[in-house]
Structure 1
């Protein structure tokens, strides 16, 4: 009899054996076979549907999400580069769960001296290295990170809290019941980082020539983390790559800056009459009806402010409804132009605006605001009508997005000229960052978990928008040929699209380009534009101002199109196989035909060809005298018989049969239609439709498209016959 320990050991071993191939079994339901793998349904690779999220991909009858409203007072110290803030958060627990603590995001702690992201990447030495490279390896205390000065409840009573790097847990004195609200009062400050040195999302850029700062203030205030039905608290640390998942709410933000600063922010300014000059206010009103960008703050205004450097202060008041975040730009060295988007967005006429410094003026004055407007209209066509009152593009030598405002690059050379690459790169990044208003600012996916759900979907729509800007737009991501070099890399350099952002080796190709390419192929080849566009719009409509997961996207695309796409998601999003299909062999066949005269003629030609050897040819060329010609007694019936003569009965029978054929049958019978047998081999492993282009002798071309389902019974090799009449 086995002992208790032996039984436990046997059970654990059996459990390990049973679970070892579980992940592979999900990807390979029929391992070892040439079929029954790639076309099986995704099964448990997707989360189970429930009362919160349906099997169709739509929000369920009991779907819920939390709400967080903010009133914030913030001041930017332009002398010491310090941000000071105080906020009141009103948090509403719409979940069915009682909560004993709340999680707050402190993203600015990514710059702290003890931040894990400063040490968790590999490093190595080489024989030749620059001083900057070596300095980066020497720890340095810079004093960055959030300083929390107060965390109180609505009655101003202190609350217990703990900070774990970029996450702060606030312990509640009593349980926050479903449907209840909690008020938090938090005071904090932090040293603003030099974004050009430290990197990151927010910070400042210093312009030594005129001794001014450009502040792009982002991910700057203590923000509520998401508590959701599919994962509870989203408390994955911010390390600089995986961006964020946040709660929708209403904002009122009072921003105090030097009096000669211009502020652009999420939402609408409530006190332009107090912070703008009379001339600027008049130009702002003019922009409300203009079809061309109007300089609210002119280049001359900006240059004048750059030299004066006021020590007085002004407070700009901004409000925003139903947004998931808030960001702003402030500087005295900003030109600001604006125009109304009068058409192309059902039910809305938002303001398109741009803020930029003198060095960006040659590019941004011509292109930026019009690129903003074009993006809003094109994305509205392919997803949902843009719902917000404003969209802003800020030139800040980077690329990052927030509700209604984004930061982009695009500066001219000192002489005002620019390269074509800078021009198209700038337009592309503006389209991309403004497009993020739709994904993920409105269709609010979790960027910490699934980068592709915002970057990939957005890059796909960026490609469509670029192509509607200019038919010759040099798009870098979206076309299939642009992803080949990445997808053919060795498997140990790849990971599936469905990979957490921190674990991706080549971030751009994986999270941006590959999903964008996949969706473009899905639209143009697998589904077709009509089915794809309807389903994609349905996904955006279902999940606007909500929190979707990958399963919701996958299911909606199938639910709204009646196209089974599990094979596509399995290959493109859960796998790393490349597309590599070879044409192994082509064989041509024609029917010999039944016309006796034609058949006999062909037989005679074949017979003569068989006899016509090189010896026979040269004998005849030499006028050789053959014996049967000299002695005719040697000629008998077989020498005189016409073996290829057509018998009248055969001709009559043929004509009777031929008269019963249809025109198509006659073409086949007469050999006018050729049959081509093509053999294909799936070398890469990713099953895809077959696209065959034929070039005929008359110079014309023809394309056949065979669905990917042709591989379902043999995923490695298939044969297909095509009939062509020329």
Structure 2
């Protein structure tokens, strides 16, 4: 719309008033709520945790040191262990009892997790086996019904060997002390236990290979271990239900692992007796790998295949030492191929081992990519947080899908097809899961958040760092996290199925999108759109360093990010972490204004064009053929002054008035007039509810474009609808909100003005085929089929 204003001052006054005026609305505003500080939603700062988000002067952590002897019984798939624990009370409180975690009790028949599993009987019929197992369906793991599962505690004793009173409550065990453990004191005690190992269920267990009769063991949450006691929760003794992971404390470990003598072991920590457990050739290869910049085989595929076919003749004990770790895990198998390299990851002269353990079923993917991905992860994460402090990082291949993390070691999926081919997504998935699980060494193995309560503090932050590391691995990497548009389907879903990110781990609905995807996207939006990379990276690194080897809470993260950047982000935490509203910005209307220049040469020419356009009606067009037949056209006596008058002709009087007008302007007013700017008033609605920055692209008449950015605070006085004036020197032909998909807008159809037609959804006609369509081969299989002779097509690689 074009609006003529006769005085420049009037133009400026009108524009100013439109900038500040807000459109009336019957919808109650929430802007004051959205942009007020979190206030009482965060805990009150104290001497343990400060208002800046840093640890306070009285911050404390208890710790526990472990001396463990464990045997893996491959014949019966059983763990038998004995541990001596020294517990240090660094808190200001006297402790009458201590709590330990017995995570294997998750698999007991009547565990809370099993009894709380939802189930239903279908009216169309249910199998007898299903009905029999309704109250015995252990979460995730395959169970041998002839065995009992869970930790079997056979002894609990003090340092003198005297039995200690203990009580087991589900996955928790309380040990009552004969006298309170006072601040600054330590307490030594021992526990003996055993348990039957379940099939691998995503966190630990074994994978059975029917073709050769062997098992790969991935042993985790296997020993009774101390619960955390801190200033926030006291004892963190929430039951383990399978979803909320682990809350642990740091300590030093010495672990002796006894396995069949043909097994290869990968573990948390440094092995103290490689020379005794490896063959001379393998030990020599390990020595050579210590100076290699590429992975070298310590145990080859041929050696692993030979071990698969042999039978053990005895046992062997591998001894490991790990300092200042919060947990301990190991893997063991005779099927393992092992490669490694020890490199100067950060260029500071300190070398770190990157290692991989995998069966032949993982090749060719694992031997090519795993160990290199381990080293890359340490470098990428270290550059944006802190240098990896441990001497080794290990990736173990555990089944086809998923992954799980522990200090210095992770169990990772990703397996090629039996013929050795794989899809690009399969390759990306394997590399991605290795980056993710190795990356967990930083969050939460070092930045030690409470996983039992806040999944997002490790999974969300780690998924974000994984996304950055994947981009540094390959510009075209098929990333699973980070990009805002990935979270749109989740944020568009029924609000009844959504829960805030700030939901405790065991109560999250849609676990993956909530705890992994949404926080990763939120951090990416902070980095790219709200804060900018420089401010974000500095603040994120400050958080990581403040809380390395300590236990932060969400408030510590929120406060540190603001404290170190100087950016008020409370509105962001409220919307993205405490709420479930989506982003949906609507560009409702654009009004176009131009200045009335007062120049008769310009203004009358424009007026002529407008008048001619208005006069060009269909009747006028058709009547033009007979215009010479009108009375006035035929009889000149019917004409007067107005038949020859041109209202759009520029007169001397017009020119004189224009010169007088120019003489009345000051320099600033003349500059504004000569800029010939276009003024556009944009009307925007916040339909989704979640306020976000407004990013808008202007495409100009001459084919160029420009992007304008306005902070989220533009909504602070009215979070429902706003107006914004944009001045340009060129005419805008198209406006587009969120042109680079930065804010996870759930409806892009209302992001353009003028509205753009919706793209059609494509569909395909299928021809009926006998026997069904079946799965298509991956590109590697297609290439192999097109280039190999028929006799050799589909040949399997050496296993």
Question: TM (normalized to structure 1)?
Answer: 0.92
Q: How many residues align?
A: 693
The corresponding residue for 1:534 is: 538
Please say if residues 115 and 135 of structure 2, whose CA atoms lie closer than 8 Å, have aligned partners that are also in contact.
no
State the match for 1:310 in structure 2.
312
Aligned to 1:117: 113
Mark the CA change 1:604 to 1:353 in structure 2 (over 3 Å): closer, same or farther: closer
Rounded to whole Å, the distance in 2 between the matches of 1:210 and 1:628 is 108
Residue 190 in 1 paired to residue 192 in 2?
Answer: no
1:124-203 superposed matches below 5 A? 124-126=120-122, 127=124, 133-134=130-131, 136-137=133-134, 139=136, 142-195=147-200, 199=201, 201-203=203-205
Give CA-to-partner distance per residue, 1:309-331, whole Å, 9 cap, x none: 21211111100010000000011
Cα 1:621/1:461, change in 2 over 3 Å: same
Q: Quick check: 1:554 aligned with 2:558? A: yes
TM-superposed deviation, 1:673 = 2.2
1:463-542 pair list within 5 angstroms: 463-542=467-546
Residues 661-670 or 681-690, more deviating:
661-670
CA 1:267/1:660 → structure 2, altered by over 3 Å: closer, same or farther? farther
- The answer to whether the 8 A contact 1:383-1:541 is kept is yes
CA distance in 2, matches of 1:474, 1:65: 40
Structure 1, unmatched stretches of 5+, are 1-30
Structure 1 Cα separation of the partners of residues 552 and 452 of structure 2: 13
Within the alignment, does 1:402 sit opposite 2:406 as a pair? Answer: yes
**In 2, Cα distance between equivalents of 1:463 and 1:480:** 12
Q: CA deviation at 1:136?
A: 3.8
> CA 1:276/1:667 → structure 2, altered by over 3 Å: closer, same or farther?
same
Q: Which of 81, 84, 95 pairs up with 2:77?
A: 81
Inter-partner Cα distance in structure 1 for 2:239 and 2:640: 103
Q: 1:444 aligns with which of 442, 448, 451?
A: 448
1:698 to 702, 705, 710: 702
1:592–1:214 distance in 2 versus 1, CA, 3 Å:
same
Match for residue 223 of structure 1 among 215, 222, 225: 225
Report the equivalent of 1:24: none
Distance in 2, Cα, partners of 1:472 & 1:273: 43
Q: How far is 1:663 from its partner?
A: 9.7
Q: What does residue 18 of structure 2 align with?
A: none
Q: Distance in 1 between matches of 2:718 and 2:224?
A: 55
User: 1:346 touches 1:385 (CA, 8 Å); kept in 2?
Assistant: no
| 1:263–1:34 CA distance, 2 compared to 1 (3 A) | closer
Q: Are the aligned partners of 2:290 and 2:343 in contact in 1 as well (CA < 8 Å)?
A: no
Distance in structure 2 (CA, Å) of the matches to 1:290 and 1:590: 69
Q: Which moved more, 1:312-321 or 1:412-421?
A: 412-421
8 A contact 2:394–2:410 mirrored in 1: yes
Q: Helix, strand or coil for the counterpart of 2:67?
A: strand
1:341 deviates by: 2.8
Aligned-residue offset at 1:201: 2.1
Query: Secondary structure in 2 aligned to 1:417?
Result: coil
Q: Are the structure 2 counterparts of residues 450 and 34 from structure 1 closer, same or farther at C-alpha, using a change threshold of 3 Å?
A: closer
Give the alignment of 1:233-632 within 5 angstroms.
233-344=235-346, 346=348, 348-397=350-399, 398-607=402-611, 620-628=624-632, 632=636
* Contact 1:584–1:679 (CA under 8 A) maintained in structure 2: yes
- Do 2:202 and 2:404's aligned partners in 1 also have CA atoms closer than 8 Å? no
Higher normalized contact order (CA 8 Å, seq sep 6+, divided by chain length)? 2
Cα 1:56–1:138 shift into 2, 3 Å: closer
Q: 1:612 to 1:415 in 2, by over 3 A?
A: closer
Counterpart residue number, 2:40: 44
Q: Which runs of 5+ in 2 are unaligned?
A: 1-26, 137-144, 731-799
Rate the CA distance shift 1:138–1:611 in 2: closer, same or farther, 3 A: closer
Task: Say whether the 8 Å CA contact 2:425–2:478 is kept in structure 1.
Answer: no
Note if contact 2:482-2:517 (Cα within 8 Å) is conserved in structure 1.
Answer: yes
Q: Is the 8 A contact 2:267 2:330 kept in 1?
A: yes
SS at match of 2:628: coil
- Return the alpha-carbon distance in structure 2 between the equivalents of residues 513 and 566 of structure 1: 21
Question: Equivalent residue of 1:220, what SS?
Answer: coil
Q: Is the 8 A contact 2:627 2:633 kept in 1?
A: no
Q: Report the more deviating stretch, 455-464 or 699-708.
A: 699-708
For residues 537 and 609 of structure 1, do their structure 2 counterparts lie closer, same or farther at Cα, with a shift above 3 Å needed? closer
Relative to the length of structure 2, the TM-score reads 0.83
**C-alpha displacement at 1:680, in angstroms?**
1.1
Change (3 A) 1:200 1:375: closer
Query: Could you tell me how far apart the structure 1 residues matched to 2:111 and 2:646 are?
Result: 99
For the pair 1:679 / 2:683, whether they are aligned, the reply is yes
User: Is 1:35 aligned to 2:31, yes or no?
Assistant: yes
- Name the SS of the counterpart of 1:204 in structure 2: strand
Q: Give the CA deviation at 1:431.
A: 0.5
Conserved 8 A contact 2:149-2:195: yes
For residues 613 and 332 of structure 1, what CA distance do their matches in structure 2 show?
89
Number of the residue aligned with 2:782: none
> Cα distance 1:345–1:498, how it changes in 2: closer, same or farther (>3 A)?
farther
How far 1:628 sits from its partner (Å)? 4.7
Counterpart contact for 1:38–1:571, Cα < 8 Å = yes
Deviations 1:274-305 (A, max 9, x none): 00000000000011110110001111111111
**How far apart are 1:608 and its partner, in Å?**
5.3
**What is the RMSD of the two structures over their aligned residues, measured on CA atoms?**
2.2
Residue 125 of structure 1, CA deviation: 2.1
Q: 1:462 to 1:137 in 2, by over 3 A?
A: same
SS across alignment from 2:34? coil
Classify 1:664/1:206 alpha carbon distance in 2 versus 1 (closer, same or farther; 3 Å): farther
Q: Distance in 2 between matches of 1:565 and 1:470?
A: 32
Contact 2:587 2:683 in 1 (8 A): yes
Moved more, 131-140 or 113-122: 131-140
Distance in 1 between residues matched to 2:358 and 2:644, nearest whole Å: 100
Q: Give the distance between the partners of 1:647 and 1:112, measured in 2 at CA.
A: 100
Range moving further from structure 2, 227-236 or 467-476:
467-476
Note the C-alpha offset of 1:527: 0.4
User: 1:662-716, CA deviations, whole angstroms, 9 ceiling, x for partnerless residues?
Assistant: 9996685368422222111111111111111222233322221111101100011
1:15 aligned residue: none
3-state SS of paired residue (2:373)? helix
1:343 deviates by 3.3
Superposed CA deviations along residues 153-195 of structure 1, whole A, max 9, x for unmatched, are 1111111100001100000001101000000111111111122
